[in-house]
Amino acid sequence: MVVLVGVVTGVLLGWRAPALGAKVKPLADIFVTVIKVFICPIVFCTVALGIASMGDLKRVGRVGIKALVWFELMTTIALVLGLVVSRTLKPGSGMHVDASKLDTSKLDKVIHGATGGARNTLDTALDVLAGIFSGHYMLQTLGVALVLGFVLAGMGRRAAPFVSVFERLAGWMFFGIGAVMLYAPVAAFAAMAFTISTQGVAAIGSLLLVMVAFYATALAFVLLVLGLVTHLLGFSILRVLRFIGDELLLILGTSSSESALPSLMRKLEEVGVQPGVVRLVVPTGYSFNLDGTCIYLTMATSFIAQALDISLSLPNELEILGVLLLTSKGAAGVTGSGFVTLAATLSSVGTIPVAGVTLLLGIDRFMSEARALTNVCGNTVATLVIGRWERAIDMEKAGRVLGRQSRQ
């Protein structure tokens, strides 16, 4: 509730006093930066501990395979849904934009800032450690944690001292995150004040149709697709959303799904999902189960093609879907990942000029919120699914919180 107050107050400040609103951005940057310092170490410890706590390597592999299969299924549905909606509504039709006249100077700055640009070997070597503690090596951290987890699980009882060390480290990290989260309302206030003051209502209105279409599609995915899944599990999607309401409000304010990772994992464990499953599925989902990002990518690609008067044939669309199935994975640890992935996809396909992504640059900050919100909803439901699939969830306990239906 306090975070919601911060969001509303920030909107009012950005609207009524834009000059002041533009100056409070550092208050939000501090929060996001500190959160990112904790993310990779937390993912490293929790994933390694999650695998080690299972003990049985066969079970670890089984959970991992089930999770990846589920991630691929849901992201494919999200990609197709975004494409179908954009083809039906055609939000970019009638714009008749000339790609050669688009200003790409801001685009170069955004992509360079998100990816870090080209660096020499010495710079890269010196920055690796700093990168790990700023959230830019999520996929690499996840890979190392998986290997370490398998090693610890294979060691059996001999791994107990090492497991104890990682448990203490994870405990300290979660304690630190808890302290930082007290600052969340201020960060949400500052982020919204800056966004409204710099982007303004005009930036939203200029591409209102594509924004409304994207938000409506993301909402439909959550309520209908994920809603059907939770119904089959015996839960209510509305109660699930209420359960993670604080995390969703935090994401709405900061536009960063990373900020909700620690508290989301803690809540899923408290609701009855075994820690081993939570610690393996949730961090992995942050890189491989980006449902909101997938919806955005196909809708944005189709919108740009329509705006530039480029007709995409069925083979073209299938090619784009195939590329997106690959490029949409593993970019969650990069700031502005959805926008950068979109540019990388257009560059790979070649059918649509990369310069076209500048059409969405002005409203990307608003669309990133819906991407992050949908991603977190998808990972929450995925954890419940894998928990039920593995019989690693206390259904009676979860049912009391999430509104289990009468079916068994």
Domains of the chain: 2-402 (1.10.3860.10)
The rounded distance, in Å, linking the Cα atoms of 171 and 262 is: 11
Query: Which two tokens mark 405?
Result: 């239906």
Using CB atoms within 10 Å of the CB of residue 311, give its burial: 0 to 12 exposed, 13 to 18 middle, 19+ buried. Answer: exposed
Q: How confident is the model at residue 124 (pLDDT cuts 50, 70, 90)?
A: very low
Residue 19 has pLDDT above 70, yes or no: yes
The rounded distance, in Å, linking the Cα atoms of 379 and 71 is: 9
Beta bridge partners of 273: 393
Residue range 305-309: mean pLDDT, rounded: 86
The rounded distance, in Å, linking the Cα atoms of 253 and 26 is: 14
Q: How confident is the model at residue 117 (pLDDT cuts 50, 70, 90)?
A: very low
Residue range 52-58: mean pLDDT, rounded: 69
Residue range 313-339: mean pLDDT, rounded: 72
Assign 393 to helix, strand or coil: strand
pLDDT in tens, 232-246: 999 999 999 999 998
The rounded distance, in Å, linking the Cα atoms of 393 and 386 is: 9
The rounded distance, in Å, linking the Cα atoms of 61 and 55 is: 11
Gyration radius of the chain's alpha carbons: 21
Q: Are 364 and 203 in contact (CB under 8 A)?
A: no
pLDDT for 350: 76
Residue range 213-218: mean pLDDT, rounded: 94
The rounded distance, in Å, linking the Cα atoms of 258 and 251 is: 8
The rounded distance, in Å, linking the Cα atoms of 5 and 36 is: 24
Dihedral pair phi/psi, residue 394, rounded to 5° = -80, 95
Packing angle between helix 245-254 and helix 261-270, nearest 10 degrees? 170
Residue 407 has pLDDT above 70, yes or no: no
pLDDT for 164: 84
Quote the mean pLDDT of the chain.
78
**Percent of all residues in the chain with a pLDDT value above 90, rounded to a whole number:** 21
**107/66: higher pLDDT:** 66
Q: How confident is the model at residue 109 (pLDDT cuts 50, 70, 90)?
A: low
Q: Are 277 and 50 in contact (CB under 8 A)?
A: yes
Say what the pTM is.
Answer: 0.72
pLDDT in tens, 126-146: 444 445 444 556 667 767 877
Q: Are 333 and 136 in contact (CB under 8 A)?
A: yes
Residue range 38-61: mean pLDDT, rounded: 72
